[in-house]
Structures are given as structure tokens and as C-alpha cells.
């Protein structure tokens, strides 16, 4: 779907700062200048980090250019991809995707995720925003660029297994891992959790982008999503590359010291949202009780703070693209 994980496949890895969601940030009093300035600084810092130097220009085009969109304003994909819960869902997606050895081999060999993680995040965030909110012609152009990259990425694992980034089967795994992660994170931490119909609608919306990227028969409701996840499990295992990627994502992110504590909260909630069958092979901890209390409460607090920081203080619609 929409965010290049740590590899050549699009997989969303954080929220979409280029979106324009209609979200309620809660009853936060921003009348004091100091609080308003703090929100402006935090929002600007988050936006520049995730959207990159071309963020303002991309935002203006995505939301301001005329023309039809792939998804109307009432579609569930806009609700999910416009929420701060995507920061947690994106991290969960990367960890889950790494369990497929062919996908992880391609990531390790071709993505350069260690050398330019912020650049990859910014490109991924823009892809997510364009396909979710942008003009249809721009969304198709973004998909065409990704497919062109996929066509050139191929190789073999240390065991001699061949992989191709354009392989519909691998694309299918990347897609369902990310859709499951985004939806679960949204239902747990989102400002506007969806009902069952909305959840099915989100899976169906995401399938439209997946089909454009080359996925064959992506799931179109929650039941199909669960069925396909189960079918892939026999192919999954934690390779050395997967465990190294997990350590990099969770323990060694390229962040200043001041940003490490909030990132640790995001990472802890991403791990807590994984099923046991996914976290144990990666050597990730399981702390029952504390995960459902302290970790989840901290996750809710942080996503609410991000939501507050990235909404304009004057109450105008969010244009963070």
C-alpha cells in the first residue's frame, strides 16, 4: 500500500503528514501564547522530519490541485491514514513484514534503510498522501514510479532462494501486513475508531491501491484479510536480517536524544500490538498486564499529543502534506 517500509516495497511506516484529516484533537486550551508556540514548534518539527524539504509544496499540490481523487472524503482510508495512530501502525508493519525471508532479503540488499532512513520515510509518506488524498493522475504516476523501481529489484538469499520485488505474491504479503497493522493500530489508538462496516471499507479501499501496484486478489474485507494472513504464516520465519532490522528500528533509530523517549513509547506500542507468533521469533518481549495498562496508556497519550501538535492552532483544516 503506501509507505516504503525498510525496503523497496511500499508499506506505510508512519502517519501521513501530508494528509488533511478532519480530526478532533480534544479539548486542549491553546489560548496561551506559550502553549500555542509550543504546538507550532512541535508540529513544524514533526512535519519537516516526516514530509521532508518538499513537504509544503507537495501538500499544496495534493490538497489544492483540481481533479477527481481515487477516494472520496467519506472513505475509511482517509480516516485511517490521516490519524496519528499511523506512527504506531507503521512500525508494527515493518516488524511484521520482516518475517518473510524473501521480502527481508530484498530489503537488506536493496533498500539502504540504514543509510537514508529519513529520506525513505519522506518518500513513503508522500506516496501514501498522494494515493490517499491526491488527484487521480498524480496517484497513478506515483504508482507507476514504484512499479518501475520494483521491476529492477531482484536477487537471491544466502540460501540461494530467488526473489523479485515485483512478484505479486511478495507484494501481497507486504500489503496485508501493512493493512492489518494500520487497521489494528487505528482501532486501538485512533481518534475515530471504525465500526465493522468501516473496517471492511478500509480493507476494500486499500485493495484498490494494492491492485494498482500489482497485487493479485488482495483482501477486500476483514475476513479475507485474516484468511490471507493465516495462509502466509507457513512461509514466515525470523532470519538474521530480520532480527537486525528489528534491533535497528526499535533500539537504534537515527534520532536525537530528546526524541528517544517518545519514540520508545511508539516502539513499545508497536511491539505490544503484534501477535505472539510474530514477536517471539524476533526476540521481542512480552509483558502481559503492563502492556495492557502502562504501555497502552502511554501510547494513547502520545498519539493524542501528536494529533494536537499537528493541527493548526487557529482551528483551520489540517494541511500537513
User: Any idea which residue has 508497536 for its cell?
Assistant: 270
132-154 pLDDT, tens digit per residue, is 999 999 999 999 999 999 999 99
Helix, strand or coil for residue 154?
strand
Contact status, residue 14 vs residue 270, Cβ threshold 8 Å: no
d(CA 47, CA 105): 31
The tens digit of pLDDT for each residue in 204-262 reads 999 999 999 999 999 999 999 999 999 999 999 999 999 999 999 899 888 888 888 99
Q: What is the pLDDT of residue 226?
A: 98
Which residues in 185-196 are b (16+ Cβ under 10 Å) and which e? bbbbbbbebbee
| pLDDT bucket at 110, cuts 50 / 70 / 90 | confident
Domain map of the chain by residue range?
33-309
Q: Tell me if 19 sits within 8 A of 52, measured CB to CB.
A: no
Question: 134 is written with which cell numbers?
Answer: 491526491
Is the pLDDT at 317 greater than 50, yes or no? no
* Residue 165 DSSP class: T
Tell me the pLDDT tens digit for each residue of 82-95.
Answer: 999 999 999 999 99
* pTM score: 0.84
The rounded percent of the chain whose pLDDT value lies above 70 is: 77
Amino acid at each position: 500500500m503506501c509507505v516504503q517500509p525498510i525496503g523497496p516495497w511500499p508499506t506505510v511506516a508512519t502517519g501521513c503528514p501530508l494528509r488533511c484529516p478532519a480530526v478532533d484533537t480534544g479539548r486542549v486550551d491553546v489560548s496561551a501564547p506559550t502553549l500555542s508556540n509550543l504546538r507550532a514548534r512541535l508540529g513544524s518539527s514533526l512535519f519537516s522530519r516526516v514530509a521532508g524539504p518538499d513537504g509544503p509544496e507537495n501538500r499544496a499540490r495534493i490538497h489544492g490541485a483540481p481533479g477527481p481523487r481515487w477516494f472520496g472524503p467519506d472513505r475509511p482510508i482517509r480516516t485511517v491514514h490521516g490519524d496519528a495512530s499511523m506512527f504506531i501502525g507503521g512500525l508494527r508493519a515493518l516488524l511484521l513484514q520482516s518475517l518473510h525471508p524473501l521480502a527481508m532479503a530484498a530489503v537488506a540488499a536493496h533498500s539502504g534503510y540504514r543509510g537514508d532512513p529519513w529520506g525513505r520515510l519522506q518518500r513513503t509518506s508522500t506516496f501514501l498522501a498522494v494515493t490517499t488524498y491526491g488527484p487521480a493522475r498524480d496517484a497513478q504516476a506515483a504508482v507507476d514510479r514504484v512499479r518501475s523501481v520494483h521491476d529492477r529489484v531482484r536477487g537471491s538469499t544466502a540460501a540461494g532462494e530467488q526473489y523479485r520485488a515485483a512478484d505479486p505474491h511478495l507484494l501481497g504479503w507486504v500489503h496485508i501486513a501493512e493493512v492489518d497493522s494500520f487497521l489494528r493500530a487505528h482501532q486501538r489508538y485512533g481518534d475515530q475508531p471504525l465500526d465493522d462496516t468501516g473496517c471492511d471499507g478500509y480493507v476494500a479501499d486499500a485493495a484498490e491501491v494494492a491492485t494498482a501496484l500489482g497485487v493479485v486478489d488482495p483482501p477486500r474485507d476483514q475476513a479475507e484479510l485474516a484468511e490471507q494472513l493465516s495462509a502466509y504464516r507457513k512461509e514466515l520465519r525470523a532470519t538474521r536480517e530480520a532480527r537486525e532490522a528489528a534491533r535497528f528500528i526499535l533500539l537504534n533509530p537515527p534520532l536525537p536524544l530528546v526524541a528517544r523517549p517518545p519514540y520508545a513509547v511508539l516502539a513499545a506500542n508497536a511491539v505490544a500490538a503484534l501477535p505472539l507468533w510474530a514477536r517471539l521469533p524476533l526476540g521481542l518481549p512480552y509483558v502481559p498486564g503492563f502492556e495492557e495498562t502502562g504501555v497502552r496508556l502511554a501510547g494513547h497519550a502520545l498519539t493524542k499529543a501528536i494529533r494536537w501538535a499537528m493541527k493548526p492552532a487557529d482551528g483551520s483544516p489540517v494541511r500537513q502534506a
